[in-house]
Amino acid sequence: MAKPTPENENAGQPTFEQALAEIETIVHELEEGRLGLEEMLARYERGVKLLRHCHGQLQQAERRIELLTGVTPECEPMVTPLDDTALSLDEKARQRSKRRTAAAPPAPPLEDEADPEIG
């Protein structure tokens, strides 16, 4: 028996984009209200399965992301693995803000603050 690979593990599974398109179709069909109750329930169940599939794919993608933390003196990117710990949106925003502030170059002095010796 062949060992499953990412390619054949997902055989028959829709891509994220395909699943999202099908979810949009299902929502449209349910909003129209032209389906019978049984068909609506079946479409709703299919939509829930697709949502779970999409959520799983997003979680996988998130784990693969690496954060750029700066540049070395040799102009090589410095990366750190994505921290899988659950952070609130506020905590994530604070961390992004800290990284942006730390990475920002110092602002040039204003003309009236310029060094008096250079002149």
Cα distance between the two ends of the chain: 80
Cα–Cα dist 84/56, whole Å = 14
54, two tokens = 């999409």
Q: Is residue 88 very low, low, confident or very high in pLDDT (cuts 50, 70, 90)?
A: low
Total-model pTM: 0.51
Domain boundaries, the chain: 13-64, 66-103
pLDDT tens by residue, 92-101:
667 766 665 6
Helix (H, G, I), strand (E, B) or coil at 49: helix
For residue 39, pLDDT over 50 is answered with: yes
- d(CA 104, CA 52) in angstroms, rounded, equals 39
